[in-house]
Amino acid sequence: MVVGVNRVVAGALSACRPIITSTNPPIPTLPPKLQEAYDLDPYDPEVVAEALFGIAIMVTFLRLLNLLLVSDVFGPLRISLGAMTNDFAKFFGVFLIIWFSFAVGLHQTFYSAGVATNRQCVSEGGDPDVCAELTGFSS
């Protein structure tokens, strides 16, 4: 912050919003129960037991889907959905291939733009450490 200059003049000279003189905002805290759960070790026996209990509940509900076969209304729907699982798997496979190729293409585009910006910065006499932090795109 510029010493001896008031906030309005400093804002006008910097051509941006007024300088905020306060320190960093306080970090929001979690409620006590959530903070206690956040601080636990991931392999704590209580955490592992709760995760296994959740998995057991999910498997139980999936097993209850077999009772739908008895119903006149939901039985044929359950059989149709069961037969469509292969189609879902094929669609998901094609979707993953397209999604992965798109991600690789985006990575290559952003990587080459970053390398070009880094080379330009270094050739103009910039510090290599500072130039390495450039992204190649302005926001």
Nearest to 103 by CA among 115, 114, 111, 91: 111
pLDDT on residue 5: 45
Assess if residue 10 is contained within a domain: no
Domain coverage including residue 112: 91-139
Mean pLDDT of the chain: 81
Residue type, 91: F
Compute the average pLDDT of residues 5-26: 54
Assess if residue 101 is contained within a domain: yes
Assess if residue 129 is contained within a domain: yes
Contact predicate 75/83, CB 8 Å: no
Per-residue pLDDT tens over the stretch 30-88: 888 888 888 888 898 989 999 999 999 999 998 988 888 888 888 888 889 889 999 99
Per-residue pLDDT tens over the stretch 91-100: 999 999 999 9
Q: What is the dihedral of CA 72, 78, 84, 85, to 10 degrees?
A: -170
Per the structure, the count of domains in the chain is: 1
Assess if residue 114 is contained within a domain: yes
Compute the average pLDDT of residues 118-133: 83
Assess if residue 64 is contained within a domain: no
Nearest to 136 by CA among 108, 104, 118, 105: 118
pTM: 0.46
